[in-house]
Amino acid sequence: MRPVWRKSSKSTTQGGECVEIAALTRSVGVRDSKNPQAGHLTLSRESFATLVQRIKDHA
């Protein structure tokens, strides 16, 4: 089954830093929406949750 990639709701059509995420079988994929052919980073669900929390803490 192919991953279904979702763009961040904070992404705009103006360019800049855009990421996409996909729920994988036991992990989460994160990739650059402007360069999806470059591949993706695979994180455990726990690591992804930690990453999101740290981003929120520093926003």
Q: What is the pLDDT of residues 14-31, one digit of tens each?
A: 766 788 999 999 999 999
Residue 47: which domain range?
19-57
The fraction of the chain above a pLDDT of 90, given in percent, is 66
Model confidence band, residue 13 (pLDDT cutoffs 50, 70, 90): low
Residue 6 lies in a domain: no
**Distance between CA 8 and CA 19 in Å, rounded?**
6
Strands 6-7 and 27-32: unpaired
What's the domain count of the chain?
1
Model confidence band, residue 34 (pLDDT cutoffs 50, 70, 90): confident
Residue 9 lies in a domain: no
Residue 46 lies in a domain: yes
